């Protein structure tokens, strides 16, 4: 390891015992944490959010905001609950984000034609323009995130994550409701 005293990222290759003499060896308890799938998935999510934020900074939009706008483009006429279900978001987070997007003029809420309690969401022209403009940045974020993987590995990762999510989705507080569900 370099003389800077930096600790290698979990999973980084190092000579056995190379850091122990420098006092940089991860305690066994941390090694156990680093090996846990949940830890790795959480770290991968943090990295994905960071890459998205960097690539999309000029648009001043979060990945959650982008997801909501994209869901409305693909499924116009959803209400707030439907958007939350389509993206696996809790209703309070969805309500807050929808409010921010409405304030920015990217979506509008209107009363449902037959159920006055429901608010139907739709993209505004400005929201549609934003989605068009941000598309290259979101593609760059996707490519950056998957850059360490070959196309075959990226496909395998996606398939494995789909299998893991499908198996466990019913266990979470906010299950994902895909259009085909």
The torsion region of residue 105 among left (phi > 0), alpha (psi -120 to 50) and beta comes to: left
Q: Is residue 153 part of a domain?
A: yes
Main-chain dihedrals φ then ψ at residue 24, nearest 5 degrees: -105, 5
Asked, for residue 22, whether it belongs to a domain, the answer is: no
Q: Tell me what pLDDT residue 15 has.
A: 45
Cβ atoms of 87 and 68 within 8 Å: the answer is yes
Please report whether residue 43 resides in a domain: yes
Q: What is the pLDDT of residue 8?
A: 44
Residue 150 lies in a domain: yes
Comparing C-alpha atoms, which of 128, 136, 133, 118 is closest to residue 73?
128
| Per-residue pLDDT tens listing for the chain (181 residues) | 444 444 444 444 444 444 545 566 667 788 899 999 999 999 999 999 999 999 999 999 999 999 999 999 999 889 998 999 999 999 899 999 999 999 999 999 988 788 777 889 999 999 999 999 999 999 999 999 999 999 999 999 999 999 999 998 888 877 777 776 5
Q: Is the pTM of this model over 0.85?
A: no
28 assigned to some structural domain: no
Q: What is the CATH number of the domain that holds 67?
A: 1.10.10.10
Confidence at residue 144, expressed as pLDDT on a 0 to 100 scale:
98
What local confidence, expressed as pLDDT, does residue 2 receive?
Answer: 41
With the C-alpha atoms ordered 83, 89, 95, 101, is the resulting torsion angle positive or negative?
negative
The domain in which residue 60 lies consists of 33-171
Q: How many domains does the chain have?
A: 1
């Amino acid at each position: 390891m370099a003389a800077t005293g930096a600790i290698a990222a979990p999973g980084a290759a190092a000579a056995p015992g190379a850091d122990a003499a420098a006092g940089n060896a991860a305690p066994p308890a941390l090694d156990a944490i680093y090996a846990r799938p949940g830890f790795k998935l959480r770290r991968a999510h943090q990295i994905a959010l960071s890459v998205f934020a960097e690539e999309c900074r000029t648009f001043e939009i979060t990945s959650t905001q982008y997801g909501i706008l994209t869901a409305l483009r693909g499924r116009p006429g959803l209400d707030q609950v439907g958007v939350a279900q389509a993206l696996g978001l809790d209703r309070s987070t969805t309500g807050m984000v929808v409010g921010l997007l409405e304030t920015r003029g990217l979506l509008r809420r209107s009363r449902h034609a037959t159920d006055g309690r429901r608010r139907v969401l739709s993209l505004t022209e400005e929201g549609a323009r934003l989605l068009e403009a941000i598309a290259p940045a979101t593609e760059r974020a996707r490519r950056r995130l998957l850059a360490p993987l070959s196309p075959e590995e990226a496909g395998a990762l996606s398939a494995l994550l789909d299998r893991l999510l499908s198996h466990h989705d019913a266990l979470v507080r906010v299950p994902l409701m895909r259009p085909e569900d």
